[in-house]
C-alpha cells in the first residue's frame, strides 16, 4: 500500500488521499448550497458522482435527526404546518398537494415529523370538490400549536423552509423527507458545524491513520 493511501484503524479499509480530498470538496459544495449541476461543473466531477454523494448526505441527515429526536428529553414548543410550493398556492386544484409537518422545539433545536397524508384520503373520497376543499381548509386552519411567542424559533423555521424549498423543483412526497431534514439541519447548525457533522458520514473516513504509522 502506497504512502498516499489511508487505512481505517477500526475496519482496516483503505482509500486514497485523493478520494478523501474529493469527498471533502463535495461536502464543501453541499454545505455552501450549490446545486448538483453547479458542484459537478465547479469541481469537474461527473454529475452522477455528485448526485450520489448528495443523496447519501441527505439519507445520513435523516438518520442523525432521528437519533437527536430519541435523546431529546423535552420539547417545549410544537406547531403543525402545511407546506405547499409557492407556485401552487392560491389555486384550489393543488390544495391536496400540501404536506403536513409537525415541528417541535427542544434545547437542541428544531425537529420535524411528517404527518399522515390526510389529503390522500380526500382524493379518493367520492364527495364533491367543494366539500373536499372545505375539509382541506379546515385541516389547515385548525392546527395544533404551542408557541411561546409569535416570533418563535419554530415560526422562523417555517419561513426558512419556504425559502429553502424554493430552490428545488418537483420534489415529490416520497422524497420530501430528505429535503425537509436538510432544511432542519441547515437551520439548526452553523456552516462549521455542518462540515463537522457531514465529516462523520462514514465512520471509517474520520477514524483513519496514515499507513506509515501502522
Neighbours of 4 (CB within 10 A): 10
First to last CA, the chain: 11
Q: What is the pLDDT of residue 106?
A: 85
Q: What is the pLDDT of residue 212?
A: 29
The residue range of the domain holding 154 is: 5-213
The pLDDT tens digits for 93-122 are: 777 788 889 999 988 889 999 988 766 666
133, 95 contact by CB (below 8 A)? yes
State which of 24-38, 128-142, 166-180 shows the largest mean pLDDT: 24-38
Q: Which residue has the cell 431529546?
A: 72
Q: What is the pLDDT of residue 46?
A: 96
Q: Given strand 99-106, what is the order of strands in its sheet? A: 109-114, 99-106, 77-83, 145-146
pLDDT band at 6 (very low <50, low <70, confident <90, very high): low
Taking 90 as the threshold, does the pLDDT of residue 205 lie above it? no
CA gap 145, 148 in Å, rounded: 10
Average pLDDT, the chain: 81
The pLDDT tens digits for 169-199 are: 878 889 999 999 999 999 999 999 999 999 8
pLDDT band at 141 (very low <50, low <70, confident <90, very high): low
Q: What is the pLDDT of residue 131?
A: 66
Q: What is the DSSP secondary-structure string of 86-106?
A: GGGTT-GGGGGG-EEEEEEEE
CA gap 183, 11 in Å, rounded: 33
Q: What is the pLDDT of residue 13?
A: 63
Q: Could you give the angle at which helices 17-31 and 191-198 cross, rounded to 10 degrees?
A: 140
Output the CA torsion sign for 78, 82, 85, 86: negative
Higher pLDDT, 155 or 124: 155
Taking 60 as the threshold, does the pLDDT of residue 50 lie above it? yes
As for how many domains the chain has, the answer is: 1
Q: What is the pLDDT of residue 177?
A: 97
pLDDT band at 136 (very low <50, low <70, confident <90, very high): low
Amino acid at each position: 500500500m502506497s504512502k498516499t493511501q489511508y487505512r481505517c484503524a477500526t475496519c482496516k479499509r483503505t482509500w486514497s488521499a485523493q478520494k478523501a480530498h474529493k469527498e471533502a470538496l463535495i461536502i464543501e459544495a453541499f454545505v455552501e448550497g450549490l446545486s448538483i449541476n453547479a458542484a459537478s461543473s465547479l469541481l469537474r466531477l461527473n454529475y452522477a458522482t455528485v448526485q450520489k454523494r448528495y443523496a447519501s448526505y441527505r439519507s445520513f441527515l435523516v438518520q442523525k435527526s432521528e437519533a437527536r429526536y430519541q435523546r431529546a428529553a423535552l420539547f417545549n414548543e410544537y406547531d403543525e404546518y402545511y407546506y405547499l410550493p409557492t407556485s401552487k398556492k392560491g389555486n384550489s386544484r393543488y390544495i391536496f398537494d400540501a404536506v403536513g409537518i409537525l415541528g417541535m422545539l427542544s434545547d437542541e433545536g428544531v425537529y420535524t415529523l411528517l404527518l399522515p397524508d390526510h389529503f390522500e384520503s380526500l382524493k379518493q373520497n367520492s364527495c364533491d370538490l367543494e366539500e373536499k376543499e372545505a375539509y382541506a381548509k379546515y385541516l389547515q386552519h385548525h392546527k395544533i400549536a404551542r408557541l411561546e411567542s409569535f416570533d418563535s424559533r419554530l415560526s422562523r423555521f417555517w419561513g426558512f423552509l419556504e425559502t429553502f424549498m424554493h430552490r428545488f423543483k418537483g420534489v415529490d412526497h416520497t422524497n420530501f423527507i430528505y429535503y425537509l431534514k436538510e432544511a432542519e439541519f441547515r437551520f439548526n447548525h452553523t456552516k462549521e458545524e455542518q462540515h463537522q457533522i457531514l465529516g462523520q458520514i462514514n465512520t471509517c473516513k474520520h477514524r483513519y491513520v496514515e499507513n506509515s504509522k501502522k
